[in-house]
């Protein structure tokens, strides 16, 4: 049981390999979906494995064993591994809970503040224009979502560039990219090794919006120029958008501009290899978690007298 759960605990450390080997070999849309799904599987396996270790250790406490209606002694073997692993689970789950609570509280506060300032914005359709000198633009999720742009950003771009910028932000809203970013951030909050995966998902999200904008305006060079000028103007203005909001100036802008100006489609073999790598890591995490939790369940049944000891 413990060995199987330890597999799930170790699998997130494969994230740097996934970022290096799999992410560059996939199209942006495929990378966004595949990397996000892998991050969810890894963090779910990590949390489930910690929960299993915590439960196994807790059942050695007589009071908890009585609550679980155990009528046979509960043994966790090997004890030299089980009890340190339980202590690790307690500490890791506590850190995860604190980090997620702080992040959720901060993002909720930012979300309310971002929507509150729209009361003073000029609106047209899904577009809200803030009368501010700093240059910023971002997709603000909600019901309905809004494309938020400052007057400073509008002055920094010409007409066609504005069209490309707004197409980029509308792509974020249409694709509900904030869900992908939230999943990536959740994984990074729960396990430090997943921070690189969060950055890779963020890049994939921006690349998807870049391609959508280029298709909408019919000009890849124009889109690249709009993104570059928006990033330069935003850096100069020092604007601070909500941390959860996706924007055209986010991520590694030079890499995104190069991808627009010199598009290269990944080879089929590379894409298949990347997909197989992601699938293998996800399957290993799922198998370890499932095997460990099923074994734990059987041990609980035995200790409760509901299953033969020989099972």
In this prediction the pTM is: 0.87
Tokens linked to 283: 């399957």
What does the pLDDT read at residue 180? 95
Q: Is residue 42 pLDDT above 70, yes or no?
A: yes
Q: Is residue 162 pLDDT above 60, yes or no?
A: yes
Residue 12 DSSP class = G
Q: Is residue 80 pLDDT above 80, yes or no?
A: no
Q: Where are the alpha helices (DSSP H) in 59-137?
A: 62-67, 79-117
Radius of gyration of the chain measured on its C-alpha atoms: 24
Confidence at 308, pLDDT banded by 50, 70, 90: low
CB atoms under 10 Å from CB of 224, counted, come to 22
3-state secondary structure of 224: helix
Strand order of the β-sheet with 127-130 is 122-124, 127-130, 146-150, 137-140
User: Rounded to whole angstroms, how far apart are CA atoms 91 and 28?
Assistant: 36
What does the pLDDT read at residue 72? 60
Q: Over the stretch 186-200, which tens digit does the pLDDT of each residue have?
A: 999 999 999 999 999
Can the peptide bond before residue 144 be classed as cis, meaning omega within 30 degrees of 0? Answer: yes
The torsion angles phi and psi of 123, rounded to 5 degrees, stand at -125, 145
User: Rounded to whole angstroms, how far apart are CA atoms 238 and 273?
Assistant: 41
What does the pLDDT read at residue 235? 66
């Amino acid at each position: 049981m413990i060995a199987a759960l330890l597999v799930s605990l170790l699998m997130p450390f494969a994230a740097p390999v996934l970022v290096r080997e799999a992410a560059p070999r996939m199209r942006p849309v495929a990378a966004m979906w595949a990397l996000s799904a892998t991050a969810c599987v890894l963090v779910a396996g990590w949390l489930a494995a910690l929960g299993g270790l915590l439960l196994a250790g807790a059942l050695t406490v007589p009071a908890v064993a009585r609550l679980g209606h155990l009528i046979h002694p509960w043994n966790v073997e090997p004890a030299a591994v089980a009890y340190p692993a339980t202590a690790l689970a307690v500490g890791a789950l506590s850190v995860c809970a604190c980090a997620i609570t702080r992040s959720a509280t901060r993002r909720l506060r930012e979300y309310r503040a971002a929507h509150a300032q729209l009361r003073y914005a000029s609106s047209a359709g899904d577009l809200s224009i803030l009368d501010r000198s700093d240059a910023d633009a971002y997709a603000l999720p909600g019901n309905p979502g809004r494309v938020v742009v400052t007057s400073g950003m509008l002055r920094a771009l010409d007409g066609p560039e504005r069209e490309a910028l707004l197409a980029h932000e509308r792509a974020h809203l249409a694709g509900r990219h904030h869900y992908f970013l939230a999943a990536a951030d959740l994984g990074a909050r729960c396990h430090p090794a997943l921070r690189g995966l969060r950055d890779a998902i963020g890049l994939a999200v921006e690349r998807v919006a870049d391609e959508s904008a280029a298709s909408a305006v019919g000009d890849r060079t124009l889109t690249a120029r709009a993104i570059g000028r928006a990033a330069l103007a935003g850096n100069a203005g020092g604007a601070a958008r909500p941390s959860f909001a996706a924007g055209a100036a986010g991520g590694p802008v030079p890499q995104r501009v190069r991808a627009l100006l010199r598009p290269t489609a990944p080879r089929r073999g590379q894409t298949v290899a990347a997909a197989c790598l992601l699938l293998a890591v996800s399957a290993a995490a799922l198998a370890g978690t499932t095997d460990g939790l099923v074994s734990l369940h059987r041990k609980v049944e035995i200790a409760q007298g509901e299953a033969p000891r020989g099972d």
